[in-house]
Structure 1
Amino acid sequence: MSTDLNHCDATELAELIRTRRASSVEVVQAHLERIEAADSRINAVVTLADGALDAARAADEELAAGAEVGPLHGVPFTVKDSFDTAGVLTQRGSPIFAGRIPDTDATSVARMKGAGAILLAKTNLPEFAYWIESDNLLTGRTNNPWDLDRSSGGSSGGESAAIAAGMSPLGIASDLSISVRGPAADTGIAGLKPTHGRIPMTGVWPREPRRDWHVGPMARTIRDLALAYSILAGPDGADGFATVPREFDAGLGASPDRPVRVGWLVDSGLGPIDAEIAATVQEAADALRGAGVRVEAVGIPALERDNPLELFTRQHVMEMKPAFREITAGHEDQMFTYSTSMLAVPDTSVEDYVLAEQGIERLRDGFAEYFQRYDALLLPVTSIPAHAHGLTQFTVDGRTVNAFHVMSATVPFNLTGLPALSMRFGTSSDGMPIAVQLAANWHSESTILYIASLLESLSPVRNQHPAL
C-alpha cells in the first residue's frame, strides 16, 4: 500500500480518501515512511510538521461523521522553507534565522489547509532562496533523486526532490527567475509559475524585488497543478500585486472552439541550448502537431534585441542588495558563499537601471504582440539537464557560460510576469529528465494547463519515477 500511495498524485489521493478506499492516516503514514527511508540520501526535508498524523486522524473522523470536505481533504503537502508556517520552523536556509517559528501561515499555506490538505514538512532551499542549487550552511545540500551526484535545482530544489522521490504528492514554492520551473525540470516533475500576483506573496520571504517573485505549485501531474492553482489563486487583501478576482481563469481549461496555436523555439535570444534539450522541444512540438494543434517554429525579436539575463541582473542588483545588507548586518560570518558573492556584485548605476527598466518594457511589448497571434509558446526550461553539484560555469553546445545561463529561458517570464509551466517530456542519454516549458498570455493559466495536459497524455516518459 505505501509504495502505491507514494506514486499516486494528489488528485487520486483525495479521491481515495473521500471514497474511504484509503484513510488519510494511511496516506500520511506512507509519506512519513518514505521520508524516513529516502531522505538521508536526498536531504530534501528540513523540518517535519508536528501533528500531521493527528490531523490525518481528525480528517478521517470528519469523513466518518459525514462532514462536507474540501478538494484536498486529508492529503499531505510540503512547503518550501521560505514560506511562513504557524508553529513550524521557517529558517529560510540561513543560520541567521535558525530557530525561527512564525505565529501565522503564509496566505498560500492557509489556503491549502483551508482546502483540507495537511502540512507534512518543510523543504530545503539555498540561503535566502537565492541560487540555482539548494545548498546552505544551516541544512546542507539537497541531492537529485535521479542521480545523487547532481543538483535538484534552486531555489525550490528541496521541494522538487521531495515530490520526485515520493516523499510528497504536492508542494508550494516560489520563483524569482527559475526557482519553480528549473527544479521541476531537473527532477522530472511539473511546476507552474502563474501570472505575477495571481497567488499572493504574503508570508513569503524574501520579497525584493517583489515585481519578479511569484508563488506557484509543484506536483507530479498537470491536473494537480491545476487543482492547486485553483485553490491558491486570488487576492488576500494584503498583497497589493494580488488584485485579479479568485475565480478568474483558475483551473484546467477546456479545449477551445478553434485550433490551438502554438509557436516553438530553441534559440531566438536564449543563447546556447543543449542539443538533447533542443531535440526534446522539437519532439514536443511534433507531438502537439500530431494531436491537431497548429504548431510552427517562431522567433521573438524582442528576445533577440534585449538580453533578459542582462536586464534581470541590472534591475535585480539595484533592488535586492539594500534589503540583504540590512538583514545580514552583523551576521556576515553566517552567510553562505552564494549570498556573499551576490552582495559583492557592483551596484547598478541609476542610468543602467533605467535602461534595464526600458528593456523590460520592450520585452512586455514584444510578448504582447506575439500572443496576439499564438495561444502559447513552447521552449526549453533550462539550457542543460541537471548538472553536477557546485558548478559555477557550464559548457553548453561547445560554449562555456556562467551558471546563471541555466535560467536564460525562464527569466523572461519573471521580468514580464507572464505565466509559464515546466513539465517533463524526455530523457537525456545519461538518464536524466528533460523538460519543456509552456508560456501563455497574462492571466491565461488555463490555456497552458490545457496544452500541458494534452502534451502529458502524449509524453513518452509519463509515470516514470527515480529508482530509490
Structure 2
Amino acid sequence: MVARNLTDADATELAALIRAKEVSPVEVVQAHLDRIATVNPRINAVVTLTAERALAAAEEAEAAVIAGAELGPLHGVPFTVKDSLDTADVPTQRGSPVFAGRTPRADATAVARFKLAGAILLAKTNLPEFGYWTETDNLLTGRTNNPWDLARTPGGSSGGESAAIAAGMSPIGIGSDVGISVRGPSAHTGIAALKPTHGRIPLTGHWPQVPRRFWHVGPMARSVRDVALGYHVMAGPDGIDGYAAYTRELDMGIAASPGRPIRVGWLTEPGFGPIASEVAATVEAAAHALRDLDCAVERVHIPVLEESDGVGLSGVLFGAEVKPEFQRVMAGRSEPLFRTGEAVLRGADIASDAYVRAHQAVERLKDAFTAYFEKYDALLCPVTPIPAPPHGLAEFVIAGKTVSARHMLSATVPFNLTGLPAMTLRFGTSGEGLPIGVQLVTRPFAESTILTIAVRLEAASGVRHARPSI
C-alpha cells in the first residue's frame, strides 16, 4: 500500500493492517506527516506537530508488533487532538496569546486513553480563542480554512480537527463540544463525530470547563466505525470528573433490546428553522433511506423547540459563567484578545432572574425530550442550517430571512443544554459541492442507538469516505 493510500484509510483499517504486519506504524505515521507537509500550509489545521516523538513512538509500536506483544485497538495509529485538551510535554495553547507556550505535564483523560489503546499523538489542531465560537480563527495561530473550499470556514470550535481529518492529515481525533463544536465542524467538512451523553467521557484536562455541565469531549473521524471505536476507547469514569460517574457498560440503547424496528422521527422546520432548502432536502432524503432500511420513520412536531430559543438560552447560561472566567484569566494580563473574547468581556452581566428563567426553560426541554423518547428511539434533524459559509460572516440569508451567525447553533445547542447524545455524519452534497450532514439524537446513555442508525445511513449515503481534492 503506497503512502497516498495510507492517508485514505480509516483508523480501523490502519489498525488491522498494522496488526496483520501488512504495513508498519512507521510507514503510517510518515505518510500522515508527509500529507501534513503537503496540505497544511493551505489549510492551517495543525498548529503543533510532534513529528520526532511520533516517529519514535511508531518505532516502538513496530517493535511490539514484531515481538508479538498484546496490541491495543488503535495500536500504531496516529491521532490528532484539539488544542483545548492537555497533552503531556506538548504545548496546549488554547488558541490565545494568553496561553502561548503553555506546556502541561499530564495528558487529558481522553488523550491518555487513546495512548493506552496504542494510538500515537501526531499533532495538535486549531480552534477559536478559548474554544468559544463557530469559526476557527485566533490571534495566536490564525485562521483555519475548509479543505473543500479554502474561502470557507470549517466551523468551530473543533474546526482545526475537522479540517485535518477531512484532508487526510489524520485518520481520527479528539474534539470537544459546548454548543456545536464537534458536530458543526464535522458537517462543514464532511466527516463524522459524536457528542456522547454528558459525562460519558471525562472532561478532565480540558479547558475551559465553564460551564462544565454543557461541555462534552467526543471522537471525530471519517467513518462511523472509527467514531464508535474512539467513543469506546474514551468512555467511562476516571475518578476525577464528577459528571463522569457512570460505567462504560451502561447502555440504554437498542443494542440492549433488539428485535423490533428502530423508531425514528425526523424534523427540520419549524423546530430548527430557517433551514436552507438543500439541507432540509438532505434530512428528508436520509429519512427516506432509513424507511427503506426497515426503520419505522415519520415526520414529527416537537412544540417545545418552537417555543424555546436554544441559542438565546445558551447565551444567558454560558454568559453568566464564561464572562467571569474570562475576567479571571485576563486579570493582570495585557495580551490582546480576539474579537469573540473581547465581545464576551464587553457583554452585559446576566441578571439572576434571567439566569433562573433560562434554567427553567432547559428543564422544560428535558421534560419534552423525555416524553419524545418514550415513543421514538431517535430524532433525525439538521446539523447546521446551511453548508459551510465563507469566512467571517456576521449574518446569513436563508430562504429570504436574515439571521445572525449564532443561528448556526440552532439545531445543535439544544442537545448540549439537555446533555443528550448526538451524532453527525455526511449524507449529501450542496449545489456548490460542499458536504451536507445530518444529525441523530437519542435518549441519555443510548449511544448504541445512534451508532447503529449511523452505520446504516453511512452505507446508504453514497458519499462514504469522500475526501476533498486539495
TM-score (norm 2): 0.98
Deviations 1:169-189 (A, max 9, x none): 000000000000000000000
> Could you tell me whether the CA contact under 8 Å between 2:136 and 2:157 is conserved in 1?
yes
State the Cα distance separating 1:331 from its structure 2 match: 3.2
Instruction: Pick the aligned partner of 1:79 from 73, 78, 81.
Output: 81
Deviation at 1:256, TM superposition (A): 2.4
Q: Which residue of 2 aligns with 1:321?
A: 323
Deviation at 1:268, TM superposition (A): 3.6
Q: 1: CA distance between counterparts of 2:22 and 2:256?
A: 29
Q: Which residue of 1 aligns with 2:363?
A: 361
Q: Following the alignment from structure 1 to structure 2, what is the Cα–Cα distance between the partners of residues 320 and 407?
A: 17
Shift of 1:463: 2.4
Tell me the CA shift for residue 271 of structure 1: 2.4
Conservation of the 8 A alpha-carbon contact between 2:252 and 2:444? no
Match of 2:188 in 1: 186
TM-aligned CA distance change 1:267 to 1:170, over 3 Å: same
Mean Cα deviation higher: 301-310 or 443-452 = 301-310
Distance change >3 Å, CA 239–CA 64, structure 1 → 2? same
Q: Tell me what 1:25 maps to.
A: 26
- Alignment map for 1:59-74 (pairs within 5 Å): 59-74=61-76
Q: CA deviation at 1:333?
A: 4.3
Query: Does 1:157 find its partner at 2:177?
Result: no
1:240 lines up with 2:238 in the alignment: no
Contact 1:223 1:252 in 2 (8 A): no
Letter in 2 for 1:376: A
Instruction: Quote how far apart the aligned CAs of 1:255 are.
Output: 8.7
Q: 1:251 to 1:108 in 2, by over 3 A?
A: farther
One-letter amino acid of the structure 2 residue matched with residue 145 of structure 1:
P
Q: How does 1:166-181 map to 2 (within 5 A)?
A: 166-181=168-183
Distance in structure 1 (CA, Å) of the matches to 2:371 and 2:254? 25
Question: What aligned pairs does 1:278-427 form with structure 2 within 5 A after superposition?
Answer: 278-331=280-333, 333-427=335-429
Letter in 2 for 1:45: V
Report how far residue 462 of structure 1 moved: 1.7
Contact 1:227 1:251 in 2 (8 A): no
Instruction: Tell me the distance in 2 between the aligned counterparts of 1:331 and 1:363.
Output: 40
Contact 2:82 2:124 in 1 (8 A): yes
Question: How many Å apart are 1:249 and its aligned residue?
Answer: 3.0
Contact 2:253 2:449 in 1 (8 A): no
Shift of 1:343: 2.0
Aligned: 1:5 with 2:6: yes
- Counterpart selection for 2:92 from 78, 90, 93: 90
- List alignment gaps of at least 5 residues for structure 1: none
What is the Cα deviation at residue 253 of structure 1? Answer: 4.4
Please provide the CA RMSD for this pair: 1.3
Q: Distance in 1 between matches of 2:439 and 2:388?
A: 15
User: Which 10-residue stretch deviates more, 322-331 or 17-26?
Assistant: 322-331
Q: Deviations over 1:304-345 (max 9, x none)?
A: 221111111111111111111110123354201111012222
In the TM superposition, residue 269 of structure 1 has moved relative to its aligned partner by: 2.7
What corresponds to 2:469 in structure 1? 467
Q: Per the alignment, in what secondary structure is the counterpart of residue 421 of structure 1?
A: strand
- Structure 2 distance, partners of 1:174, 1:430, is 28
- The 1-side partners of 2:407 and 2:112 are apart by 35
CA contact (8 A) 2:131 2:156 kept: yes
Aligned residue pair count? 468
Shift of 1:247: 2.2
Shift of 1:8: 0.4
Residue 130 of structure 2 is matched in structure 1 by 128
Instruction: State the AA in 1 paired with 2:354.
Output: D
Q: Distance in 2 between matches of 1:244 and 1:306?
A: 30
1:230–1:250 contact (8 Å) kept in structure 2: no
Q: What percentage of residue pairs aligned between the two structures are identical?
A: 61
Q: Matches of residues 86-125 of structure 1 in structure 2 within 5 Å? A: 86-125=88-127
The CA distance in 1 between the partners of 2:340 and 2:153, in whole Å, is 15
Q: Which runs of 4+ in 1 moved over 6 A?
A: none
Q: Match of 1:174, SS?
A: strand
Q: TM-score, normalised by structure 1?
A: 0.98
Aligned partner of residue 237 in structure 1, secondary structure: coil
CA distance in 2 between counterparts of 1:353 and 1:343 reads 18
Give the one of 426, 433, 444 matched to 1:431. 433
